[in-house]
Every structure is written in C-alpha cells, then in structure tokens.
Chain A
Amino acid sequence: GENVEQHPSTLSVQEGDSAVIKCTYSDSASNYFPWYKQELGKRPQLIIDIRSNVGEKKDQRIAVTLNKTAKHFSLHITETQPEDSAVYFCAAVLEKLTFGTGTRLTIIP
C-alpha cells in the first residue's frame, strides 16, 4: 500500500519568515495530494490540495508543489503568523487518504 513520509517532524520559524514541509510518497498511482492543518484537540482541516496533473498551486500565503517523477510534494507558507502554529499533515490519495506523520509548526512571535 501507499506509504507517506513527512519531514521535519518539528519546525520553529520566526514570525514573518517562511516555512517549508516536505513529503514523499511511494505509490506512483496516487493522484491527489491534500494538506491538512490540525490545531490542538481539533479535527484535521483541509487547507490546500494539488492534483497530479499540476505542478504548483498557490492560495494566498500557502503554496504546494508536486514533483511526480521524484514522488515528492511540499507545502510552503510565507509571511508566517502566530495562528499558523499547528500540526500539518500531508496525505496521498489513490482510493483513500494515507497521511504523513505530521509536522508540528511553531511560529515564534
């Protein structure tokens, strides 16, 4: 089955700086890659996604890139703010979501 690796497991960034989280997947048939943000004690919330026929997608301060050949995809957050502090999960979808191990992002004011 699909296996998704995610790095780093923790990331601390000064407010206003950029944060990058990277994931790799194993099944080349996976064709959809969502990112979820989970605040403490809350549900995972879909924040951005990308399909396999697209290399990059941007939504305000967040962007995702996908390299199908290398089977990796990344989340980029620019101009980070304290409310960006959360655990971020990448996922790969073929028929179900397979999650990465999560990145705890802390924005330092």
Chain B
Amino acid sequence: EPEVTQTPSHQVTQMGQEVILRCVPISNHLYFYWYRQILGQKVEFLVSFYNNEISEKSEIFDDQFSVERPDGSNFTLKIRSTKLEDSAMYFCASSPDRGSGAFFGQGTRLTVV
C-alpha cells in the first residue's frame, strides 16, 4: 500500500540553525500538507500546497518557514532560524483531491536545543 514517507525520523538542531524536513507524498496525490504536533497536544495545520504553490497557511507559518517541491516527488519544509518552541513532531500529509482525508507520514521529531 502506498505511503507518505518522511526523513529524517528525528532531527536535533541548535537554536538559530536552519533545518529542512523532507517528505515523499503518495505518487498520484495532488495536495500536500505540513502539520505539527507539540507533545501531547493536537495536530495543528501549517500549510497546504497545490499546483506548485501555497494554497493556504496558518498563523504559525511565518516568514521563518518555507515549502518547496524541488522535483516531481519531494516536498520539503524549511525552517530558517529555529527556535526552542519549534520543537515538535512535524507530519507531512497528502491527499488525492481537495476535501478528502489526508494520509500522514510517520513524522519527523524536531528537537531544538
């Protein structure tokens, strides 16, 4: 069964450093998302991406965040200058169309020290 895959599974970075989280969505899906989950809390929407551009973003997704689809398969989330409060599990998700359920990757646990 096709799956969304994410790398790395765990990333530790120093405050102020840039990180790039990588995702390979399910191949025939058209909509891509990043969500984050702070430990023990709910899953929060960051950004959605369709047709090579951002379609919606949340208040969390400020100028420090960017997304890119550099080729036909990868979908990346970059955090330019990490803060302690960016520590969370980051989930990539994809869906075949708008208004459908999304399928989640296994997540990248980002720890900012």
Decide if B43 touches A93 in the complex (CB within 8 Å): no
Contact-residue bracket for chain A: 20 to 34
Decide if A102 touches B101 in the complex (CB within 8 Å): no
Q: Residues of B contacting A101 with CB < 8 Å?
A: 41-42
Q: Residues of A contacting B56 with CB < 8 Å?
A: 95-96
Q: State whether A43 and B99 are in contact (beta carbons under 8 Å apart), knowing that A89-B42, A96-B45, A102-B42 are contacts in the complex.
A: no
Say yes or no for B75: interface residue by CB 8 A criterion: no
User: Closest A-chain residue to B45, C-beta based?
Assistant: A96
Decide if A44 touches B99 in the complex (CB within 8 Å): no
Q: State whether A96 and B33 are in contact (beta carbons under 8 Å apart), knowing that A31-B99, A32-B100, A46-B103 are contacts in the complex.
A: yes
Decide if B91 touches A93 in the complex (CB within 8 Å): no
Q: How far is the CA of A58 from the CA of B102 in the complex (A)?
A: 20
B84 to chain A, nearest CB (A): 21
Decide if A44 touches B91 in the complex (CB within 8 Å): yes
Q: Residues of B contacting A94 with CB < 8 Å?
A: 99
B18 to chain A, nearest CB (A): 25
B48 contacts which of A32, A96, A100 (Cβ < 8 Å)? A96
Most chain A CB within 10 A, of B35, B43, B44, B93, is at: B43
Q: How far is the CA of A98 from the CA of B56 in the complex (A)?
A: 12
Say yes or no for A42: interface residue by CB 8 A criterion: yes
Decide if A95 touches B101 in the complex (CB within 8 Å): no
Please list the residues of chain B having a beta carbon within 8 angstroms of any beta carbon in chain A.
Answer: 33, 35, 41-45, 48, 55-56, 91, 93, 98-107
